[in-house]
């Protein structure tokens, strides 16, 4: 890596590479790069995490950016800050930012029923024919779809219990707008409205409005052949190769590939108000609905708890939202077999962290990494399902694509 020395800190050259500098945590500790590396590598070894990309932001600047472990075990290829990884549901936060730009431009009214934008009733489109006979679809708004209050399941192929049934019909579980239940199906429906109703190209809009302006050169809603030059593969809990799905269709709920470097740029830009600013940024990151479910998944579980009242766990638009002593915090996770990701930003200090792993064990070290590396004791790790590596972990796979 080409770099230069400033105040004893190695900074990345313009070409893009690791940023190896000290970190100031929320609880006022200063961590040296050596301490960060020791913490990460120790936990990765204990939890059998294949590879991990890490970015830390202080006062709106990326002060630490590095990658650890392997992108491809079989080829003994190291993970780098430019290794293509599956962004999973990070895609939702990026999509929400783009949608808020459309709202700011007057192209989309967040509170208008989506039927205003469709050329025919939603159930007359083949993809949504299952909703024929349930007029509650007419209540759907963009705000409901982005805040996960539509009443739709996470995906149509999941039952209410969270089990996978590929031929399961789509349904509306509860009155739209009445409560929270995480729904990738709802996010994809908003994409459908933009494309089928307004005639927009979501893939192109994401590239033109988010990726290119932020310099996210190795991020795309669909597979690009140049990703193969530095590509991470996913691995399961036992370290068995799962691979990397070359997704060919734009899916707002989770088709994007990215890198730890690009996602660091996205979180930095969100903290700075560079993706969306003013009242529309505030709208995106304010509490739309309180979340009192025991866990994020299975999404339609009606069991409630007061456990996360301490941080007023809520849903914003495309993001989760918390109240902390450091002001508002906003977060997003991303999960799939072989991939675990998480990012959180704290508005007042301009601080944040991005974690991306190509291992199903990745989230088992997130709780300790968040607390140690940035002083984040606010993330609702139990709700997120971040069971620590040295605790009994639940059976994976329920309702978490």
Q: For the domain that residue 157 is a member of, what is the CATH number?
A: 3.40.710.10
Per residue in 66-87, pLDDT tens?
A: 999 999 999 999 999 999 999 9
Strand partners of residue 344 = 331, 353
How confident is the model at residue 83, as a pLDDT?
A: 98
401 located within any domain: no
CA terminus-to-terminus distance, the chain: 35
198-207 pLDDT, tens digit per residue, is 999 999 999 9
Distance CA 223, CA 277 (A): 30
Q: Report the pLDDT value the prediction gives residue 181, as an integer from 0 to 100.
A: 98
Question: 287 vs 59, 147, 247, 276, CA distance in Å?
Answer: 23, 9, 32, 17
pLDDT > 90: what percent of the chain? Answer: 93
pLDDT at 400: 72
For residue 198, the enclosing domain spans 3-384
Does residue 204 lie within any of the structural domains? yes
In a domain, 392, yes or no: no
Q: What is the distance between the alpha carbons of residues 247 and 85, in angstroms, rounded to a whole number?
A: 12
Closest CA to 220 of 65, 87, 72, 358: 87
Strand partners, 241: 235
Residue 400 lies in a domain: no
DSSP letter for 140, please. Answer: -
Asked whether residue 398 is domain-assigned, the answer is no
Residue 365 CA to its chain's centroid (Å): 17
Q: Whole-angstrom Cα distance, residue 364 to residue 385? A: 9
- What pairs with residue 31 in β-bridges? 23
Model confidence over 300-321: pLDDT tens digits? Answer: 999 999 999 999 999 999 999 9
* 397: in domain: no
* Residue 55, φ and ψ in degrees, nearest 5: -135, 135
Q: Which of 100-109, 146-155, 198-207, 389-398 has the lowest mean pLDDT?
A: 389-398
State yes or no: pLDDT of 387 exceeds 50.
Answer: yes
345 Cα distance to chain centroid? 12
SS (H, E, C) 12-71: ECCCCCCEECCEECCCCCEECHHHHHHHHHHHHHHHCCCEEEEEEEECCEEEEEEEEEEE
Name residues whose C-beta falls within 8 Å of residue 19's C-beta, 6 or more positions apart in sequence: 10, 11, 12, 62, 63, 64, 65, 66
399: in domain:
no
Query: How many separate domains does the chain show?
Result: 1
| 145-178 confidence digits (pLDDT tens) | 999 999 999 999 999 999 999 999 999 999 999 9
8 Å CB contact between 183 and 150 = yes
Instruction: Summarize the chain as % helix, strand, coil (round to 5).
Output: 30, 20, 45
| H or E element that contains 327 | strand 327-336
Cα torsion through 218, 222, 225, 228, rounded to 10: 60
| 395 falls within a domain | no
Which pLDDT belongs to residue 392?
A: 77
Distance CA 188, CA 293 (A): 23
**Model confidence pLDDT, tens digit, residues 223-244:** 999 999 999 999 999 999 999 9
* 279: number of Cβ within 10 Å: 11
| Alpha-carbon span 232 to 244, nearest angstrom | 7
Which alpha helices (H) appear in 170-255, and where do they start and end? 184-192, 202-206
Pairing of strands 320-324, 314-315: antiparallel
Residue 119 has a CB neighbour count (10 Å cut-off) of 11
184-192 and 90-104 helices, crossing angle to 10° = 40
Dihedral of the CA atoms 197, 143, 107, 129 (nearest 10)?
Answer: 0
Sorted by sequence, the CB contacts under 8 Å of residue 347 that are 6+ apart come out as: 271, 285, 327, 328, 329, 330
């Amino acid at each position: 890596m080409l770099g230069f020395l400033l105040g004893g800190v190695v900074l990345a050259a313009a070409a893009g590479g690791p940023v190896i500098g000290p970190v100031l945590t929320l609880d006022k500790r200063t961590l040296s790069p050596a301490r960060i590396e020791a913490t990460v590598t120790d936990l990765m070894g204990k939890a059998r995490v294949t590879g991990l990309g890490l970015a830390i932001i202080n006062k709106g600047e990326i002060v630490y950016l590095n990658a650890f472990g392997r992108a491809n075990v079989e080829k003994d290829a190291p993970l780098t800050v430019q290794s293509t990884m599956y962004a999973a549901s990070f895609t939702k936060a990026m999509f929400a930012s783009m949608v808020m730009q459309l709202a700011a431009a007057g192209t989309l009214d967040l509170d208008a029923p989506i039927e205003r934008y469709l050329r025919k009733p939603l159930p007359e489109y083949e993809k949504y024919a299952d909703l024929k006979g349930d007029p509650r679809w007419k209540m759907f708004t963009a705000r409901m779809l982005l805040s996960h209050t539509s009443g739709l399941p996470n995906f149509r192929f999941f039952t209410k219990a969270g089990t996978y049934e590929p031929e399961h019909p789509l349904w509306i579980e509860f009155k739209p707008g009445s409560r929270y239940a995480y729904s990738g199906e709802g996010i994809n429906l908003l994409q459908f409205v933009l494309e089928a109703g307004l005639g927009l190209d979501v893939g192109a809009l994401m590239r033109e409005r988010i990726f290119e302006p932020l310099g996210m050169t190795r991020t795309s809603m669909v597979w690009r052949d140049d990703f193969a030059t530095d590509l991470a593969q996913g691995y399961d809990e036992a370290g068995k190769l799962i691979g990397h799905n070359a997704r060919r269709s734009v899916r707002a709920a989770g088709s994007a590939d990215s890198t730890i470097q690009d996602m660091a740029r996205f979180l930095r830009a969100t903290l700075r108000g560079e993706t969306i600013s003013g009242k529309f940024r505030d709208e995106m990151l304010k509490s739309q609905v309180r979340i009192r479910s025991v866990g994020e998944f299975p999404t339609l579980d009606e069991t409630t708890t007061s456990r996360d009242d301490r941080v007023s766990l809520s849903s914003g638009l495309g993001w989760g939202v918390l109240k902390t002593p450091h002001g508002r915090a906003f977060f997003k996770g991303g999960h799939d077999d072989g991939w675990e990701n998480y990012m959180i930003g704290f508005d007042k200090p301009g601080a944040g962290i991005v974690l991306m792993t190509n291992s199903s064990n990745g989230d088992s070290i997130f709780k300790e990494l968040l607390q140690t590396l940035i002083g984040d004791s606010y993330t609702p790790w139990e709700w997120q399902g971040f069971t620590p590596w040295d605790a009994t972990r639940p059976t994976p796979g329920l309702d978490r694509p």
